[in-house]
Amino acid sequence: MSIIEFAISPDFRFDSKANRYRWRDTNKFAPKQAILARTRTYVDNQKQALVQLGSDLSDGKIDLIKFQREAADIVKSLHLSQAVLGCDGIENLKPRDFLAIARELKKQYKDGKDSETGKPFGLKWLAQDIKDGNVSRAQLLNRLRMFGDASKISFWLMKRQAALDGGMSLARRILNPDAENCPDCYAYAQMGVKPIADLPLPGERCQCRTQCQCSIEFV
Amino acid sequence: MSIPEYAQQTIATLYPSEPTNEGLIPAHEAELAYQLFSELGTVPEFTSFAFTCREQLLTGISDFTESNLPDPAALDFEQLRKVQESFVRYILTSGTKGFKDGIDEIQFESNPLAGRFIDRRGDSDRVFSYEISNELGAWTSTVRAVSGVSEDPTFSEVAKPEEVMTLKFSESMSNDRFKQIVTATIREAFEDDAVLTSDVEPVGDGNGWKCTYKSGKQEFTLEWDGTEFTKAPVIGGDFAEPVEADGDLLDDDEYDRLSEISAADYLKTANAIVE
């Protein structure tokens, strides 16, 4: 192992009692930025794993039951790790946050409803479409990518909760100047500073859906 | 196409130096050369003729007329036209930017260096105009869409590879505009019916990107590492057929149960982050 590889693959472990990460060798707490960087990498890897799962199903390596269970498991880990990023470290996750993530997971699994079309979405509906023979391989992989990208809603849920906890009550939508923003996002940005509850989170109620590149500033 | 050993020797004899289209892939070029040679024929008098053709192809096809054939008795006008078509097809399809979709018909008048070709697609034809030129021994071709492609809005996007090469990855790379640029670039460099089937994702330190796209029924992965393209077919890709899967659907109760976050779920994710 080279020095560079070691530097980007630190030997950490999770201490469940302290709810913190530690260096394996010294047992000291690990630097937060290093753990957050690992979390971001983990999110990327899990997104790829979700797409790979679609390939495995398409190739007949797994059946539909296994696909649904494993996809649900990966989506859950994605939302959890996005929440870790959103609350700036796993030590900041609170029990009520798990409830918020679980509510979002129910949407992603079976209760989702597209704000633009009103059509239901979720893994359950994807599985139904597969069973009905209405999904090509490309469509399957693309829809799984969208499930992966949709996990960032949990990131913003945690950001919003942290803002409320910090006594903030207002927010404004920030467009990504490099992105091709949809008309809905332009409209949200033009609303200016609004009460937090009045402003949809990025990816919510906009035509960009999971591709939304906006951010929110809480004030 | 596998090239028999005798044919390889023939090709080596006929084509010791190829037209110098930049980016020619040797194996691909050899196949095309073999195709050209096959169309010329393998009988001895044709071999002699082909050799002369090769010399003329390298010096300029404008001199390539019926009047200076080496053995006029061996060829009639139709055969000459076939050779000219072979050459046009060869140049248009050669190189990394060659037209790879299949040329079903080539149309030209007396000068084969400019004309039209047709790519037949079911109930609609795609018609392109072409021009071939030779500067300092290097053959180049220019292809423009004439009809049958205007309904595809992204085809008319002007996107040069340099435009992509100067872009670095950011979150905005997955937006529609960038996908259009990448699509147009793939169409210019590889298959002109390419349709992206994935977002564009970063590679390395952000100077590169990768994506998947389909051409016809075949899916490819394409990676740009900041210097060069790497392209590979996706095995098993089939866009016309739906995914077939054995097994049943989970019921709502099980989805509800799966959505609960247990301590085990939490620990599993916490540990997986640093695995």
Mean pLDDT, rounded, for B138-155: 57
Contacts by B1-8, CB closer than 8 A, 24 or more apart:
B1/B31, B1/B34, B1/B35, B3/B30, B3/B31, B3/B34, B7/B34, B7/B37
Q: Rounded CA gap, A143 and A122, in Å?
A: 10
- Give yes or no for A57 touching B (CB within 8 A): yes
> Is residue B24 helix, strand or coil?
coil
Q: Which residue from B197, B247, B259 is facing A138, i.e. has the nearest CB?
A: B197
Contacts of A128 (CB under 8 A, 6+ apart): B249
Amino acid at B273: I
Kind of pairing between the strands at B114-121 and B105-107? antiparallel
Name the residue facing A57 among B243, B249, B269 (closest C-beta). B243
CA distances, A30 to each of A35, A40, B274 (Å): 7, 16, 11
Contact A12 B274 (CB under 8 A): yes
Q: Which residues of A touch B257 (CB under 8 A)?
A: none
Average pLDDT rounded to a whole number, residues B156-173: 42
pTM: 0.53
Smallest Cα–Cα separation from A104: which of A207, A193, A203?
A203
Q: Which residues of B touch A110 (CB under 8 A)?
A: 252, 255
Mean pLDDT, chain A, as a whole number?
A: 88
CB spacing of B241 vs A65 below 8 angstroms: no
* Coil vs helix vs strand at B109: coil
DSSP code of residue A157 = H
- Say yes or no: ipTM exceeds 0.85: yes
Percentage of chain A lying above the pLDDT 70 cut? 95
For A32-59, what is the mean pLDDT? Answer: 91
pLDDT, tens digit, 9 for 90 and up, residues A179-213: 778 888 989 999 999 999 889 999 888 888 888 88
Q: Give me B247's structure tokens.
A: 């097994």
* B contacts of A67 (beta carbons < 8 Å): 245, 247
Q: Which residue from A35, A72, A159 is spatially nearest to B261, judged by alpha carbons?
A: A72
Under DSSP, is residue B230 helix (H, G, I), strand (E, B) or coil? strand
Which DSSP symbol is given to A176? -
